[in-house]
Amino acid sequence: MTYSLSTSLSKPLTLVAFMALALAGCNNNSQTSTETTNTNGTLDKIKESGTIVVGHRDSSIPFSYIADDPNQPIGYAHDLEMKVVEAVKQKLNMPDLKIRYNLITSQTRIPLVQNGTVDFECGSTTNNEERQKQVAFSNGFFEIGTRLLTKKDSGIQGFDDLKGKTLVTTAGTTSERYIREYNDDKKMNINIISAKDHGEGFLMLENGRAEAFMMDDVLLAGEKAKAKNPDEWVIVGEPQSFEIYGCMMRKDDPEFKAVVDDALATVFKSGEINSIYDKWFLNPIPPKNVNLKFEMSDNLKALIANPHDSDQPKVATAQ
């Protein structure tokens, strides 16, 4: 039904009716304003500001970390992140688009993406069902298994050996959640310490405050590689979960997600992903020029061949 304000005002209105009309108008204006705000996607935000804000980590070796230049993140995931930035430049026809880096941690990454401080991040963030309720994920670009890093002579060969021992893990990670549930369910009496980042976690392990460090196997390999004496350390235990890393962005923004997914798909289909992988996992990397010697798993090969944004791995083989 079409409502004519002029027609209505030509007849006497009671005070109540007039106030109701005024309130209805205010409510409609409020709803329109909210809807307009909600439809402003990430691409619009970037275009209006002339800047894309990229989230990065400082110690997620070799995915996203700081080495020699404190203002320049590097890593496997960072290289993929820059492919996304290039795709955004092309999409918006903004070759001079500015890039601003914003440091995130395991605990701050989700809120900083949600509130718009960061436009997206590609690091070592696991795509899982709980996080999907808060943020969106790109197609996966890595797959890991959660394991333990410990000294060769610690006597720890797997998770069953953790009873009564002290273990460190990184705060705000899926590993922290898993090990706390495992500890409660199995009545292991594990003393669990939460570190602010992976670097601090390994430091606690190295200085004897903890006897094992639980985290994603490839991140453990990164910490092991930068140790004073890498040969003293060993990664042990059957993986307790297989998890997929994806780029994280705000929910309900399919246009921006399509740009991110297409950028990754181009790298996968061209085969460029193999050279990027070799650069960070099979060759010496900064800052100490250590080689992780971490071969590409069958799981990751399957993910690259058939990309998806599910939180569940399509293949579950030994890593």
Pick from 296, 299, 297: nearest CA to 312: 299
> N- to C-terminal Cα distance for the chain?
64
How does residue 6 score in pLDDT terms, banded at 50, 70 and 90?
very low
Q: Are 178 and 240 in contact (CB under 8 A)?
A: yes
Residues 182, 122 within the same domain: no
Residues 176, 60 within the same domain: no
Q: What is the mean pLDDT of residues 298-306?
A: 95
Q: What is the mean pLDDT of residues 79-105?
A: 98
Render the burial of 3-14: b for 16+ CB within 10 Å, e for the rest: eeeeeeeeeeee
Question: Would you put residue 18 in left (φ > 0), alpha (ψ -120 to 50) or beta?
Answer: alpha
Residues 257, 296 within the same domain: yes
Residues 71, 194 within the same domain: no
Residue that wins the pLDDT comparison between 4 and 123? 123
What's this model's pTM, rounded to 2 decimal places? 0.82
pLDDT for res 280: 98
Residues 168, 224 within the same domain: yes
Residues 130, 173 within the same domain: no
Q: What is the mean pLDDT of residues 38-47?
A: 85
How does residue 288 score in pLDDT terms, banded at 50, 70 and 90?
confident
Residue that wins the pLDDT comparison between 81 and 23? 81
Residue 103 falls inside a structural domain: yes
Residue 20 falls inside a structural domain: no
Q: Which of 183-187, 191-195, 226-230, 307-311 has the lowest mean pLDDT?
A: 226-230
% pLDDT > 70, the chain: 86
Inform me whether the pLDDT recorded for 30 exceeds 70.
no
pLDDT for res 123: 97
Q: Are 270 and 263 in contact (CB under 8 A)?
A: no
Inform me whether the pLDDT recorded for 145 exceeds 60.
yes
- The overall longest dimension of the chain from CA atoms, in Å, is 92
% pLDDT > 90, the chain: 82
Q: What is the mean pLDDT of residues 99-107?
A: 97
CATH number at residue 286: 3.40.190.10
Report the alpha-carbon distance of residue 3 to residue 227 in Å, rounded: 74
Residues 180, 125 within the same domain: no
Q: What is the mean pLDDT of residues 209-234?
A: 94
- Tokens encoding 269: 């289909």
* Structural domain total, the chain: 2
Domain span at 121: 42-144+244-305
